[in-house]
Copies of this chain bind each other. A is one copy, B any other.
Amino acid sequence: MGNMNRQWRLTKRPVGEDFDDCLVFGEEPIGTPGDDEILVKNLHISLDPANRVWMNEGDSYKAAIPLGGVMEAFCVSIVAESKSPDFIVGDVLYGFGHWEDYTVTDGAGWEPAPDIGAAPFSAHLGVFSVVGPTAYVGLLDVCDPQPGETVVVTTAAGAVGSLVGQIAKIKGCRVVGITGSDEKCTWMTQELGYDAAINYKTESVFKALLKHCPDGIDCHFEQVGDAKVLDAVLTQLNQYGRISLCGWISVYNATAPIAGPSGLANLVMKRGKMQGFIVLDFPERIAQSHTDMRQWIEDGKLKYRVDVVDDLSGAVEALHTLYAGTNKGKLIVKVQDDPLLG
Protein backbone atom coordinates (compact mmCIF):
# COMPACT_ATOMS: atom_id res chain seq x y z
CA MET A 1 0.00 0.00 0.00
CA GLY A 2 2.93 2.29 0.62
CA ASN A 3 1.74 5.82 1.25
CA MET A 4 -1.46 5.45 -0.76
CA ASN A 5 -4.94 5.65 0.68
CA ARG A 6 -7.69 3.51 -0.88
CA GLN A 7 -11.07 5.15 -0.64
CA TRP A 8 -14.66 5.12 -1.91
CA ARG A 9 -16.03 8.52 -2.99
CA LEU A 10 -19.69 9.38 -3.54
CA THR A 11 -19.73 10.93 -7.00
CA LYS A 12 -23.49 11.21 -7.63
CA ARG A 13 -26.78 10.76 -5.78
CA PRO A 14 -28.28 7.29 -6.17
CA VAL A 15 -31.87 6.58 -7.17
CA GLY A 16 -33.37 3.57 -5.44
CA GLU A 17 -30.89 0.83 -4.62
CA ASP A 18 -28.85 1.54 -7.72
CA PHE A 19 -25.84 3.04 -5.95
CA ASP A 20 -23.15 0.90 -7.61
CA ASP A 21 -21.91 3.51 -10.04
CA CYS A 22 -22.40 6.37 -7.54
CA LEU A 23 -19.53 5.13 -5.41
CA VAL A 24 -16.12 5.13 -7.06
CA PHE A 25 -13.09 3.26 -5.71
CA GLY A 26 -9.69 4.91 -6.07
CA GLU A 27 -6.38 5.74 -4.47
CA GLU A 28 -4.89 9.02 -3.27
CA PRO A 29 -1.88 9.83 -1.13
CA ILE A 30 -2.42 9.43 2.60
CA GLY A 31 -3.15 12.80 4.20
CA THR A 32 -0.96 14.53 6.74
CA PRO A 33 -2.39 15.77 10.02
CA GLY A 34 -2.03 19.49 10.77
CA ASP A 35 -1.84 21.13 14.18
CA ASP A 36 -4.31 19.56 16.65
CA GLU A 37 -5.17 16.85 14.11
CA ILE A 38 -4.60 13.12 14.02
CA LEU A 39 -4.29 10.45 11.35
CA VAL A 40 -6.39 7.39 12.09
CA LYS A 41 -5.80 4.02 10.46
CA ASN A 42 -9.18 2.39 9.87
CA LEU A 43 -9.28 -1.27 10.86
CA HIS A 44 -12.96 -2.22 10.62
CA ILE A 45 -15.87 -0.30 9.17
CA SER A 46 -19.52 -0.99 9.85
CA LEU A 47 -22.09 -1.39 7.07
CA ASP A 48 -25.58 -0.35 8.19
CA PRO A 49 -28.93 0.05 6.41
CA ALA A 50 -28.92 3.77 7.15
CA ASN A 51 -25.76 4.21 5.05
CA ARG A 52 -28.02 4.42 2.01
CA VAL A 53 -29.98 7.29 3.61
CA TRP A 54 -26.79 9.25 4.11
CA MET A 55 -26.17 9.18 0.32
CA ASN A 56 -29.34 11.20 -0.34
CA GLU A 57 -29.21 14.91 -1.05
CA GLY A 58 -31.31 15.85 1.97
CA ASP A 59 -30.03 15.71 5.52
CA SER A 60 -31.41 12.95 7.73
CA TYR A 61 -30.56 12.71 11.44
CA LYS A 62 -27.09 13.67 10.23
CA ALA A 63 -25.88 15.86 7.37
CA ALA A 64 -25.92 14.29 3.92
CA ILE A 65 -22.57 13.07 2.57
CA PRO A 66 -21.34 15.82 0.22
CA LEU A 67 -20.97 14.94 -3.45
CA GLY A 68 -17.34 14.11 -4.08
CA GLY A 69 -16.84 13.30 -0.41
CA VAL A 70 -15.58 9.98 0.93
CA MET A 71 -18.40 7.58 1.87
CA GLU A 72 -19.05 7.54 5.61
CA ALA A 73 -19.40 4.79 8.21
CA PHE A 74 -18.93 3.96 11.84
CA CYS A 75 -15.35 2.73 12.24
CA VAL A 76 -12.93 1.20 14.69
CA SER A 77 -9.55 2.73 14.04
CA ILE A 78 -6.15 3.22 15.59
CA VAL A 79 -4.23 6.48 15.96
CA ALA A 80 -1.30 6.30 13.52
CA GLU A 81 -0.02 9.88 13.93
CA SER A 82 -0.98 12.55 16.43
CA LYS A 83 -0.46 16.30 16.51
CA SER A 84 -3.21 16.61 19.09
CA PRO A 85 -2.67 16.71 22.85
CA ASP A 86 -5.83 14.60 23.23
CA PHE A 87 -4.65 11.47 21.38
CA ILE A 88 -1.64 9.16 21.59
CA VAL A 89 -0.38 6.93 18.77
CA GLY A 90 -1.82 3.46 19.32
CA ASP A 91 -5.10 4.62 20.90
CA VAL A 92 -7.97 2.46 19.65
CA LEU A 93 -10.85 4.77 18.71
CA TYR A 94 -14.46 4.31 17.75
CA GLY A 95 -16.01 7.00 15.64
CA PHE A 96 -17.79 8.44 12.73
CA GLY A 97 -15.37 7.88 9.88
CA HIS A 98 -15.00 7.00 6.23
CA TRP A 99 -14.66 4.17 3.74
CA GLU A 100 -10.89 4.48 3.37
CA ASP A 101 -7.61 3.23 4.80
CA TYR A 102 -6.61 6.41 6.61
CA THR A 103 -8.47 9.52 7.68
CA VAL A 104 -7.18 12.89 8.88
CA THR A 105 -9.45 14.30 11.57
CA ASP A 106 -9.48 16.81 14.41
CA GLY A 107 -10.92 14.04 16.56
CA ALA A 108 -14.48 15.38 16.68
CA GLY A 109 -16.90 12.42 16.64
CA TRP A 110 -14.20 10.01 17.79
CA GLU A 111 -13.80 8.52 21.23
CA PRO A 112 -11.86 5.73 22.92
CA ALA A 113 -13.28 2.35 21.92
CA PRO A 114 -14.87 0.69 24.95
CA ASP A 115 -13.32 -2.15 26.91
CA ILE A 116 -14.83 -5.26 25.32
CA GLY A 117 -13.17 -7.76 27.64
CA ALA A 118 -12.29 -11.07 26.06
CA ALA A 119 -14.53 -10.58 23.02
CA PRO A 120 -12.86 -10.73 19.58
CA PHE A 121 -11.85 -7.45 17.96
CA SER A 122 -14.74 -7.59 15.47
CA ALA A 123 -17.12 -7.28 18.42
CA HIS A 124 -16.21 -3.60 18.58
CA LEU A 125 -18.58 -3.13 15.65
CA GLY A 126 -20.51 -6.36 16.09
CA VAL A 127 -21.99 -5.65 19.49
CA PHE A 128 -20.32 -2.74 21.20
CA SER A 129 -20.52 0.02 18.62
CA VAL A 130 -23.81 1.20 17.19
CA VAL A 131 -25.56 -2.13 17.03
CA GLY A 132 -25.62 -3.20 20.66
CA PRO A 133 -26.41 0.17 22.24
CA THR A 134 -29.08 0.71 19.57
CA ALA A 135 -30.81 -2.52 20.55
CA TYR A 136 -30.33 -1.71 24.22
CA VAL A 137 -31.70 1.85 24.36
CA GLY A 138 -34.29 1.29 21.63
CA LEU A 139 -35.81 -1.53 23.62
CA LEU A 140 -35.14 -0.55 27.23
CA ASP A 141 -35.40 3.26 27.06
CA VAL A 142 -38.03 3.72 24.36
CA CYS A 143 -40.22 0.66 25.09
CA ASP A 144 -39.41 0.03 28.77
CA PRO A 145 -40.63 -3.60 28.65
CA GLN A 146 -41.80 -5.14 31.92
CA PRO A 147 -41.40 -8.79 32.96
CA GLY A 148 -44.21 -10.88 31.53
CA GLU A 149 -44.98 -8.47 28.72
CA THR A 150 -44.95 -9.51 25.06
CA VAL A 151 -42.33 -8.01 22.76
CA VAL A 152 -42.40 -8.30 18.96
CA VAL A 153 -39.27 -7.63 16.88
CA THR A 154 -38.91 -7.13 13.11
CA THR A 155 -35.74 -8.18 11.22
CA ALA A 156 -35.43 -10.25 14.34
CA ALA A 157 -32.43 -12.25 13.13
CA GLY A 158 -30.53 -9.14 12.06
CA ALA A 159 -27.63 -7.48 13.80
CA VAL A 160 -29.81 -5.24 15.97
CA GLY A 161 -32.96 -7.37 16.07
CA SER A 162 -31.22 -10.49 17.32
CA LEU A 163 -29.89 -8.52 20.29
CA VAL A 164 -33.27 -6.85 20.95
CA GLY A 165 -34.94 -10.25 21.23
CA GLN A 166 -32.30 -11.63 23.55
CA ILE A 167 -32.31 -8.53 25.78
CA ALA A 168 -36.11 -8.77 25.99
CA LYS A 169 -35.76 -12.42 27.07
CA ILE A 170 -33.17 -11.41 29.69
CA LYS A 171 -35.74 -8.90 30.98
CA GLY A 172 -38.33 -11.65 31.40
CA CYS A 173 -40.54 -10.96 28.38
CA ARG A 174 -42.28 -13.23 25.92
CA VAL A 175 -40.54 -12.55 22.61
CA VAL A 176 -41.80 -13.12 19.08
CA GLY A 177 -39.51 -12.39 16.14
CA ILE A 178 -40.40 -11.70 12.52
CA THR A 179 -37.86 -12.59 9.82
CA GLY A 180 -37.59 -13.77 6.22
CA SER A 181 -36.41 -17.37 6.21
CA ASP A 182 -37.06 -20.65 8.00
CA GLU A 183 -33.34 -21.00 8.69
CA LYS A 184 -33.38 -17.70 10.57
CA CYS A 185 -36.55 -18.74 12.41
CA THR A 186 -34.82 -21.90 13.58
CA TRP A 187 -31.74 -19.96 14.70
CA MET A 188 -33.90 -17.55 16.68
CA THR A 189 -35.94 -20.17 18.51
CA GLN A 190 -33.19 -22.80 18.90
CA GLU A 191 -30.16 -20.62 19.62
CA LEU A 192 -31.39 -17.21 20.75
CA GLY A 193 -34.30 -18.33 22.94
CA TYR A 194 -37.16 -16.56 21.14
CA ASP A 195 -40.55 -17.95 22.20
CA ALA A 196 -41.74 -17.95 18.61
CA ALA A 197 -40.55 -16.92 15.16
CA ILE A 198 -42.59 -15.88 12.12
CA ASN A 199 -41.43 -16.16 8.51
CA TYR A 200 -43.23 -13.21 6.91
CA LYS A 201 -42.56 -14.60 3.44
CA THR A 202 -44.52 -17.81 4.02
CA GLU A 203 -47.00 -16.97 6.81
CA SER A 204 -49.72 -14.42 7.46
CA VAL A 205 -48.07 -12.16 10.03
CA PHE A 206 -51.50 -11.13 11.31
CA LYS A 207 -52.57 -14.73 12.02
CA ALA A 208 -49.18 -15.76 13.34
CA LEU A 209 -49.08 -12.85 15.81
CA LEU A 210 -52.61 -13.70 16.91
CA LYS A 211 -51.41 -17.22 17.64
CA HIS A 212 -48.07 -16.40 19.25
CA CYS A 213 -49.20 -13.36 21.26
CA PRO A 214 -52.23 -14.69 23.17
CA ASP A 215 -52.04 -11.76 25.60
CA GLY A 216 -51.63 -9.10 22.91
CA ILE A 217 -48.55 -7.02 22.16
CA ASP A 218 -47.05 -4.61 24.68
CA CYS A 219 -43.85 -3.59 22.91
CA HIS A 220 -42.82 -3.62 19.29
CA PHE A 221 -39.38 -2.97 17.85
CA GLU A 222 -39.72 -1.78 14.27
CA GLN A 223 -36.98 -1.65 11.66
CA VAL A 224 -38.79 -2.22 8.36
CA GLY A 225 -41.88 -0.04 8.08
CA ASP A 226 -43.96 -2.60 6.18
CA ALA A 227 -47.58 -1.42 6.41
CA LYS A 228 -49.01 -4.94 6.62
CA VAL A 229 -46.80 -5.93 9.54
CA LEU A 230 -47.38 -2.63 11.32
CA ASP A 231 -51.13 -3.01 10.89
CA ALA A 232 -50.99 -6.51 12.33
CA VAL A 233 -49.10 -5.16 15.33
CA LEU A 234 -51.34 -2.10 15.74
CA THR A 235 -54.48 -4.24 15.67
CA GLN A 236 -53.14 -6.46 18.46
CA LEU A 237 -51.50 -3.71 20.48
CA ASN A 238 -52.36 -3.66 24.17
CA GLN A 239 -53.32 -0.57 26.11
CA TYR A 240 -50.34 1.75 26.56
CA GLY A 241 -48.43 -0.27 23.97
CA ARG A 242 -45.07 1.15 22.90
CA ILE A 243 -43.58 0.99 19.42
CA SER A 244 -39.90 1.77 19.07
CA LEU A 245 -38.94 2.95 15.59
CA CYS A 246 -35.34 2.03 14.94
CA GLY A 247 -35.41 2.11 11.16
CA TRP A 248 -37.64 2.07 8.12
CA ILE A 249 -35.62 0.04 5.66
CA SER A 250 -38.58 -0.53 3.32
CA VAL A 251 -38.34 3.02 2.01
CA TYR A 252 -34.59 3.72 2.05
CA ASN A 253 -34.35 2.66 -1.58
CA ALA A 254 -37.91 3.64 -2.56
CA THR A 255 -38.37 5.93 -5.53
CA ALA A 256 -42.07 6.69 -4.88
CA PRO A 257 -44.16 7.05 -1.70
CA ILE A 258 -45.44 3.80 -0.23
CA ALA A 259 -48.76 3.89 1.62
CA GLY A 260 -48.40 3.61 5.38
CA PRO A 261 -50.35 1.54 7.91
CA SER A 262 -54.09 2.12 7.97
CA GLY A 263 -54.45 1.16 11.61
CA LEU A 264 -52.88 4.17 13.31
CA ALA A 265 -56.26 5.04 14.83
CA ASN A 266 -55.54 2.22 17.23
CA LEU A 267 -52.75 4.32 18.72
CA VAL A 268 -55.51 6.61 19.98
CA MET A 269 -57.79 3.83 21.16
CA LYS A 270 -54.99 2.06 23.00
CA ARG A 271 -53.15 5.23 24.04
CA GLY A 272 -50.15 3.83 22.23
CA LYS A 273 -46.83 5.48 21.60
CA MET A 274 -44.70 5.29 18.46
CA GLN A 275 -41.31 6.87 18.81
CA GLY A 276 -38.30 7.20 16.57
CA PHE A 277 -34.88 7.19 18.16
CA ILE A 278 -31.21 7.24 17.32
CA VAL A 279 -28.71 5.78 19.73
CA LEU A 280 -26.76 9.06 19.60
CA ASP A 281 -29.62 10.63 21.59
CA PHE A 282 -28.72 8.51 24.62
CA PRO A 283 -25.03 9.27 25.22
CA GLU A 284 -25.40 8.80 28.96
CA ARG A 285 -26.66 5.22 28.46
CA ILE A 286 -23.92 3.91 26.19
CA ALA A 287 -21.48 3.03 28.98
CA GLN A 288 -24.21 1.15 30.87
CA SER A 289 -25.10 -0.79 27.73
CA HIS A 290 -21.45 -1.81 27.30
CA THR A 291 -21.23 -2.99 30.91
CA ASP A 292 -24.45 -5.00 30.72
CA MET A 293 -23.71 -6.51 27.34
CA ARG A 294 -20.19 -7.55 28.30
CA GLN A 295 -21.63 -9.28 31.36
CA TRP A 296 -24.38 -10.98 29.35
CA ILE A 297 -21.87 -12.20 26.75
CA GLU A 298 -19.61 -13.59 29.50
CA ASP A 299 -22.63 -15.30 31.09
CA GLY A 300 -23.57 -16.86 27.74
CA LYS A 301 -26.90 -15.01 27.67
CA LEU A 302 -26.18 -12.84 24.66
CA LYS A 303 -25.07 -14.33 21.36
CA TYR A 304 -24.17 -12.54 18.18
CA ARG A 305 -23.00 -13.24 14.67
CA VAL A 306 -20.54 -11.22 12.64
CA ASP A 307 -20.25 -11.31 8.87
CA VAL A 308 -16.82 -9.94 7.93
CA VAL A 309 -16.04 -8.86 4.38
CA ASP A 310 -12.30 -9.12 3.92
CA ASP A 311 -11.50 -6.22 1.66
CA LEU A 312 -12.51 -2.58 1.34
CA SER A 313 -13.01 -3.04 -2.40
CA GLY A 314 -15.98 -5.32 -1.66
CA ALA A 315 -17.87 -2.76 0.42
CA VAL A 316 -20.44 -1.72 -2.19
CA GLU A 317 -21.32 -5.26 -3.09
CA ALA A 318 -21.61 -6.15 0.60
CA LEU A 319 -23.92 -3.21 1.30
CA HIS A 320 -26.52 -4.71 -1.05
CA THR A 321 -26.77 -7.82 1.11
CA LEU A 322 -28.31 -5.70 3.87
CA TYR A 323 -31.29 -4.84 1.68
CA ALA A 324 -31.54 -8.34 0.31
CA GLY A 325 -31.39 -9.72 3.85
CA THR A 326 -28.76 -12.26 2.87
CA ASN A 327 -26.07 -11.23 5.36
CA LYS A 328 -25.78 -13.27 8.53
CA GLY A 329 -25.28 -11.10 11.54
CA LYS A 330 -23.58 -7.75 11.78
CA LEU A 331 -21.94 -6.79 8.49
CA ILE A 332 -18.40 -5.49 8.81
CA VAL A 333 -15.65 -4.70 6.34
CA LYS A 334 -12.15 -5.43 7.51
CA VAL A 335 -10.05 -2.63 6.02
CA GLN A 336 -6.58 -3.58 7.16
CA ASP A 337 -4.74 -5.59 9.80
CA ASP A 338 -3.00 -3.87 12.62
CA PRO A 339 0.26 -5.38 13.84
CA LEU A 340 -0.28 -3.94 17.32
CA LEU A 341 -3.47 -5.92 17.69
CA GLY A 342 -2.15 -9.13 16.25
**Residues in chain A within 8 A of chain B (CB atoms):** 53, 60-61, 225, 227, 231, 239, 245-248, 251, 257-265, 267-278, 281
Contacts and interface: CB of A to CB of B under 8 A. Distances in A.
Contact of A271 (B251, B260, B281): B281
Contacts of A61: 239, 268-271
B271 A267 contact: no
Contacts of A274: 264, 267, 273-275
A318 to B, nearest CB: 23
Contact of A260 (B227, B247, B281): B227
Contacts of A53: 269
Nearest to A241: B276
Contacts of A231: 257
A269 B247 CA distance: 8
Contacts of A269: 53, 60-61, 276
Contacts of A248: 264-265, 268
Contacts of A247: 268
Tell which of A251, A258, A264, A274 has the most Cβ of chain B within 10 Å. A264
A277 B271 contact: yes
B257 A262 contact: yes
Contacts of A239: 61
A248 B275 CA distance: 18
A141 B272 CA distance: 15
A273 to B, nearest CB: 4
A245 B268 contact: yes
Contacts of A267: 245, 274-276
A61 to B, nearest CB: 5
Nearest to A271: B276
Tell which of A61, A267, A276, A281 has the most Cβ of chain B within 10 Å. A276
Contacts of A257: 231, 262-263
Tell which of A261, A263, A265 has the most Cβ of chain B within 10 Å. A265
17 contacts: A61-B269, A61-B270, A225-B265, A245-B268, A248-B268, A251-B262, A257-B263, A259-B260, A260-B263, A269-B276, A270-B276, A271-B275, A271-B277, A271-B281, A272-B276, A273-B274, A274-B275
Contacts of A272: 275-276
Nearest to A277: B271
Contacts of A275: 267, 271-275
Contacts of A227: 259-260
A64 to B, nearest CB: 12
A60 B267 CA distance: 11
A273 B272 CA distance: 11
Contacts of A268: 61, 245-248, 276-278
Nearest to A53: B269
A271 B278 contact: yes
Nearest 4 A/B pairs, CB to CB: A248-B265, A259-B259, A260-B260, A268-B276
Contacts of A246: 268
